[in-house]
Amino acid sequence: MNKDFIVSGHTVKFDVNYNDFQTFLDETRDPVYRIILSAFEDLKKDEKVKVNVLADIEGNQFKSELEYTKSNLDILTDVINPYFERVEDYETCAKIMKLHSELIS
């Protein structure tokens, strides 16, 4: 996993020039998913949250702003949690399921 990134709030900036988009996705999935998880935690007090991802891909500036609300909870169970199951980070899986339960109640 790439460690060349800076996190500020719900923004993550990668300080590497990735050769292609697939390499970027493969090497940054873990920190991006952790930022998204952190953003979902803020839905306990906020109606919506935004996550910003910044990187250089193929020499071009890439910026993505992702917005989440409680209507997006399926992302936690269908995308984020399966990733952490695959990497056998069961502590994070438990955290995700607890958060999901809190947000649907």
Residue 9: what pLDDT? 85
Q: Residue 37: which domain range?
A: 5-104
Q: Are 20 and 58 in contact (CB under 8 A)?
A: yes
**Whole-structure pTM value:** 0.90
Q: Are 67 and 39 in contact (CB under 8 A)?
A: no
- Reported as a pLDDT band with limits 50, 70 and 90, residue 3 is low
Q: What residues contact residue 24 under an 8 Å CB cut-off, 6+ apart?
A: 14, 18, 55, 57, 62
Q: Tally the domains of the chain.
A: 1
Residue 90: what pLDDT? 98
User: Tens digits of per-residue pLDDT, 45-91?
Assistant: 999 999 999 999 999 999 999 999 999 999 999 999 999 999 999 99
Dihedral sign for Cα 10, 21, 96, 65, please.
positive
User: Tens digits of per-residue pLDDT, 30-48?
Assistant: 999 999 999 999 999 999 9
The rounded percent of the chain whose pLDDT value lies above 90 is 90
Local structure of residue 20 (DSSP, 8 states)? S
